[in-house]
Amino acid sequence: MPTIVKNAFLFLLSVFLFILYIKNAHFISLLFLNNLVEIIIFILVIILIVFVVNKLHKWIGTLRFTFQIQVITSFFLILFLAHELFTPYFYQEDYLKEVGLEKIEGFQQLSNPELSNKERDELAKDVVFKEMAASYSITGSYPKVDAIEKMAIIDFNRHFNQFELTVEGKQPGRESVGTLQYTFTKAGLEFKIIGFEDLN
């Protein structure tokens, strides 16, 4: 049993550190001058993770309650990984719908000509995933999504670490009803739009 707990602890700790790297890789992405540099950095990160895990394992082995520490830490690491893989399932449906509608309303404001470039960039950072916001800011090209009046949610789905909202409502200047589907994922402490599709 102690061997199983030790191996599980080492594995979960390695996965935890690797996920931390993946979630913060955009800070290092500026160094990726080409694929070779990217591969070298990736290999160095793997080596660093193995080194850190071994050092932590040896240090924990010197403590009095090694087995208990490994069991408790493994439990919390499992909770962390479950939260990362199935984030929307940890939140109530009403909360996700409310947050989603708030982000959609902000997203539809991106094409508002009255906004300055700085205001538009700040709004994009608040409502869309960081890579999308950076892309919009660099290119200066923001999606032109017609605002929907009297927006109503017609479908809600959770998929692993993302959730989807399908909304419909009347689009200004059109007689037809507009239907759009938005995909959200957790970014930091909040959910943000990672994709959208016009279903008309």
Task: Tell me how far CA of residue 120 lies from CA of 111, 127, 182, in angstroms.
Answer: 8, 11, 19
Structure confidence at residue 53 as a pLDDT band (50, 70, 90): confident
What is the mean predicted confidence (pLDDT) over 70-94? 85
Phi, psi of 135 (to 5 degrees): -65, -45
Model pLDDT, residue 49:
83
CA distance 152 to 149: 9
**Domain ranges (residues) in the chain:** 2-85, 90-198
- Treating both helix axes as pointing N-terminal to C-terminal, what angle do 2-23 and 35-61 enclose, rounded to 10 degrees? 140
Look up the pTM and report it: 0.68
Q: Are the CB atoms for 107 and 196 separated by under 8 Å?
A: yes
Structure confidence at residue 10 as a pLDDT band (50, 70, 90): confident
Residue 76 has pLDDT above 80, yes or no: yes
CATH number of 90-198: 3.10.450.50
Q: Are the CB atoms for 152 and 170 separated by under 8 Å?
A: no
Model pLDDT, residue 145:
65
Q: What is the pLDDT of residues 185-194, one digit of tens each?
A: 887 778 888 8
Structure confidence at residue 141 as a pLDDT band (50, 70, 90): low
